[in-house]
C-alpha cells in the first residue's frame, strides 16, 4: 500500500475512514502522542489561543460578509444595519471587532515569548520567518478591514496609509497608487478591492499557519530552558497534558475577551469611526488601531530628509557596524581604519542632518527638492524596516544560549526593548506636537507671555529661548533604541555575553525545581 503501517481504531466508522484516508492517524501522531518538552510554562498557551482567535475571526467574518455592502454610499449604513436589525448581528460584530484586538494581543505575547526564550534560533529559523509572514499578513488584513465600516477614521486612516506608497520613487505615484486605489483617490473601487482582499487574506493566513505548524512539528518546540530534549524522560505526549493546559488558558483568555465583547465593545476602537466618512472634514487627530501604533510612531519619527551627506555617513557607519560589531573579528579593516570610519561616518551624518534642518545654509545637494530619500519615504522605509528586522533576527543574535533565563544582559535588553515598544505605542497615539516638558530661558515677562499664549506681544529683540521635549522627539529617541536593539545590542551581546551554565537535561531541571519548591 502507499501509506506506512498504522494502528487500528476501535470505532468502526473512524477505522473505515482512516483505512482509506489516514487523517485520524495523522492527528493522533501530530496532536496525540507528539512528544513535547515537559517544562512548558503559560507563555506556550498563546499559540493555541491565536489559532482559536483566527478561526473565530474567519467564522464571524464570513457571516458578516453576507450582510455587508461594499459601496461608499451604503457601507456605513450596512454596518449599522448589521448591529441593529440582523439577528445576533450586534454579537457578531462585537466578536469580530474586538476579536481583531485580542488576536493581536495573543500574537504579540506569542512573539515576545519567541524573542525572550530564543525560539528564533536554529534549527527553527524558518519557523520564525513563517511567523513573521503571518504577522505581516495580519497587519495587512487588519488595516483593510478597518477601512470597511467607512467611518471617518476608516476613510482618513486609509488616505494617510495608502498615500505612503506614493513616496516610493519612480513607481509609487504612477503605478502602485492607481493599482491600490482603483482610481485617482479613495472611492468605491478602493472599498470594493479592500473588501475582496479582506475576505481572501484570512485564508492565506490560515495556509501559512498550516506551514508554520508543519515546520514546528519538524523541528519540535523550544522550551523555557532553551535546550533540546535528550530522550523520553524530557518529554510528555501533547494530549492530554497540553491540550488540557491550552484549554484552561483559553478559557481564561476568553473570559477577558467576552468582558470586552459584552461590556466594553467600543473601548478598543475610535469614536470618530461612528461618524460616516466625509472627505470634506478631516479629523483633528488621525490614528490607526492600537496594534499599529508603535509602527505608526516610527513612521512619524522620520521628520528629516536623507541628503547625500547623510546617506554617505550612514553608509560608512554601516560598513563599521558590519566589520566591527557583527563580526567576531574584523576581516578587512584595522582598528585605526575602524575609528576613521566611525568618526567620518558620524560627522557626515550629523552634518547632513544639520544641513537639512538649516536650509538657509544653501549647501549643494541638501535642498529638500534635491534629496534622494525624502522624509516621507524615509518614514516608510523605517516602518517596514522595523518589521523586516524580525526576519533576520536569527542571524543578528548568534549567541549559543537560547533562553534569556541564562543570559542576564540579554534579559535586560529584551525587557528594555519591550518597554520601548510600549512607549512608541503611546507616542503613536498622541499628536506629534504634544509637549511633555518645556523650559523658557530669557526675559521673565516674555516667558510669561509665551506661557499665556501671548507670544505675538513680545517685543523684537526680547524673544526668549524655549527648550521643549515634544512627542516627535520621544518617538525619535525610542525609534533609535528599537533599531539599536537589533543592529547593535544583539550582535554585541552575541560576542561578549558569557551567560550562565545550562542544565544537563530538561527532566533534571524540572526535578531540581520541584525539590527546591518542596524544601
> Catalytic annotation on 457?
no
Range ranked top by mean pLDDT from 130-139, 303-312, 495-504: 130-139
- The pLDDT assigned to 1 comes to 43
pLDDT at position 425: 96
- Catalytic hit among 121, 154, 234, 246: 246
The yes-or-no verdict on residue 507 having pLDDT over 90 is no
Res. 446: pLDDT tops 90: no
Classified as helix, coil or strand, 486 is helix
Could you confirm whether domain 33-279 is CATH 1.20.1270.30?
no
Catalytic residue among 125, 217, 228, 374: 217
Give the least confident one: 128-132, 206-210, 270-274: 270-274
pLDDT of residue 518: 67
Concerning whether 217 is annotated as a catalytic residue, the answer is yes
Active-site residue, from 18, 289, 356, 397: 289
pTM of the model: 0.92
Does 289 participate in catalysis according to the annotation? yes
DSSP 169-235: TTTIIIIIHHHHHSSSSSSHHHHHHHHHHHHHHHHHHHHHHHHHHHHHHHH----TT-----SGGGE
375-403 confidence digits (pLDDT tens): 899 999 999 999 999 999 999 999 999 99
Nearest CA-CA partner of 47 in 238, 261, 237: 238
Specify the higher pLDDT residue, 372 or 150: 150
Among candidate residues 19, 245, 429, 484, the one labeled active-site is: 245
Residues 395 and 122: their CA atoms lie apart, in Å, by 9
Q: Each residue of 110-119: pLDDT tens digit?
A: 999 999 999 9
Whether 450 shows a pLDDT value over 80: the answer reads no
Active site residue 230: no
Q: Does pLDDT of 372 surpass 50?
A: yes
Measure Cα distances from 506 to 137, 231, 386, 502, 519 in Å: 35, 9, 35, 10, 20
* pLDDT at residue 2 greater than cutoff 60: no
Minimum mean pLDDT among 302-311, 356-365, 371-380: which range?
Answer: 356-365
pLDDT at 433: 85
Residues of the chain with pLDDT > 90, as a percent, come to 61
- pLDDT value at residue 213: 94
Higher pLDDT among residues 172 and 107, named by residue: 107
Q: Is residue 487 within 8 Å of residue 396, measured between CB atoms?
A: yes
Q: Give span(s): CATH 1.20.810.10, the chain.
A: 33-279
pLDDT in tens, 169-203: 888 888 889 988 888 888 999 999 999 999 999 99
Highest mean pLDDT among 9-18, 162-171, 232-241, 471-480: 471-480
pLDDT of residue 359: 67
Least confident of 285-294, 317-326, 453-462: 453-462
Q: What pLDDT score was predicted for residue 86?
A: 95
Instruction: Give the model's pLDDT for residue 320.
Output: 92
pLDDT at 58 over 80: yes
Lowest mean pLDDT among 182-186, 320-324, 486-490: 182-186
C-alpha cell at 87: 439577528
Which of the four pLDDT bands, split at 50, 70 and 90, describes residue 91?
very high
Please name the residues in contact with 435: beta carbons below 8 A apart, sequence gap of 6 or more: 468, 469, 470, 471
Tell which residue, 344, 363, 342, has the closest CA to residue 354: 363
Query: Contact, 129 vs 256, CB < 8 A?
Result: no
**Which pLDDT score, from 0 to 100, does residue 519 have?**
59
Let me know if 246 is a catalytic residue: yes
Q: Is the pLDDT of residue 452 over 80?
A: no
Q: Catalytic one among 101, 119, 154, 221? A: 221
Amino acid at each position: 500500500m502507499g501509506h506506512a503501517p498504522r494502528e487500528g481504531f476501535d470505532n468502526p466508522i473512524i477505522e473505515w475512514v482512516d483505512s482509506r484516508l489516514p487523517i485520524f492517524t495523522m492527528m493522533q501522531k501530530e496532536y496525540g502522542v507528539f512528544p513535547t518538552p515537559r517544562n512548558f510554562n503559560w507563555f506556550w498557551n498563546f499559540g493555541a489561543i491565536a489559532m482559536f482567535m483566527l478561526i473565530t475571526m474567519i467564522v464571524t467574518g464570513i457571516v458578516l460578509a453576507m450582510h455587508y455592502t461594499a459601496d461608499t454610499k451604503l457601507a456605513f449604513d450596512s454596518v449599522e444595519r448589521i448591529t441593529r436589525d440582523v439577528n445576533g448581528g450586534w454579537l457578531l460584530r462585537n466578536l469580530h471587532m474586538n476579536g481583531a484586538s485580542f488576536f493581536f494581543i495573543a500574537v504579540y505575547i506569542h512573539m515576545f515569548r519567541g524573542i525572550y526564550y530564543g525560539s528564533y534560533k536554529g534549527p527553527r529559523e524558518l519557523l520564525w520567518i513563517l511567523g513573521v509572514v503571518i504577522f505581516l499578513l495580519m497587519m495587512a488584513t487588519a488595516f483593510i478591514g478597518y477601512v470597511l465600516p467607512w467611518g471617518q477614521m476608516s476613510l482618513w486612516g486609509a488616505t494617510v496609509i495608502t498615500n505612503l506608497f506614493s513616496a516610493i520613487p519612480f513607481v509609487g505615484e504612477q503605478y502602485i497608487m492607481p493599482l491600490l486605489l482603483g482610481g485617482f483617490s479613495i472611492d468605491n473601487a478602493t472599498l470594493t478591492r479592500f473588501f475582496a482582499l479582506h475576505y481572501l487574506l484570512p485564508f492565506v493566513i490560515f495556509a501559512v499557519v498550516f506551514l508554520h505548524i508543519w515546520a514546528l512539528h519538524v523541528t519540535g518546540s523550544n522550551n523555557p530552558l532553551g535546550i533540546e530534549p535528550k530522550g523520553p524522560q524530557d518529554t510528555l505526549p501533547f494530549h492530554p497534558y497540553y491540550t488540557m493546559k491550552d484549554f484552561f488558558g483559553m478559557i481564561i483568555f476568553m473570559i477577558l475577551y467576552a468582558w470586552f465583547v459584552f461590556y466594553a465593545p467600543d473601548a478598543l476602537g475610535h469614536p470618530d469611526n461612528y461618524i460616516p466618512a466625509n472627505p470634506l472634514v478631516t479629523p483633528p487627530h488621525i490614528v490607526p488601531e492600537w496594534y499599529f501604533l508603535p509602527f505608526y510612531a516610527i513612521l512619524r519619527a522620520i521628520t528629516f530628509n536623507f541628503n547625500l551627506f547623510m546617506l554617505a555617513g550612514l553608509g560608512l557607519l554601516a560598513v563599521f557596524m558590519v566589520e566591527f560589531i557583527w563580526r567576531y573579528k574584523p576581516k578587512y579593516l584595522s582598528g585605526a581604519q575602524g575609528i576613521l570610519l566611525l568618526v567620518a561616518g558620524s560627522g557626515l551624518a550629523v552634518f547632513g542632518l544639520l544641513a537639512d534642518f538649516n536650509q538657509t545654509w544653501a549647501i549643494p545637494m541638501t535642498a529638500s527638492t534635491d534629496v534622494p530619500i525624502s522624509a516621507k519615504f524615509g518614514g516608510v522605509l523605517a516602518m517596514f524596516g522595523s518589521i523586516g528586522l524580525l526576519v533576520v533576527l536569527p542571524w543578528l543574535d548568534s549567541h549559543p544560549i537560547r533562553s534569556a533565563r541564562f543570559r542576564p544582559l540579554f534579559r535586560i535588553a529584551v525587557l528594555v526593548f519591550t518597554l520601548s515598544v510600549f512607549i512608541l505605542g503611546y507616542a503613536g497615539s498622541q499628536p506629534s506636537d504634544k509637549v511633555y516638558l518645556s523650559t523658557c530661558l530669557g526675559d521673565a515677562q516674555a516667558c510669561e507671555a509665551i506661557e499665556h499664549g501671548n507670544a505675538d506681544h513680545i517685543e523684537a529683540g526680547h524673544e526668549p529661548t524655549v527648550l521643549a521635549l515634544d512627542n516627535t522627539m520621544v518617538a525619535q529617541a525610542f525609534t533609535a533604541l528599537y533599531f539599536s536593539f537589533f543592529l547593535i545590542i544583539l550582535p554585541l551581546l552575541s560576542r561578549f555575553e558569557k551567560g550562565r551554565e545550562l542544565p544537563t537535561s530538561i527532566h533534571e531541571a524540572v526535578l531540581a525545581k520541584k525539590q527546591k519548591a518542596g524544601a
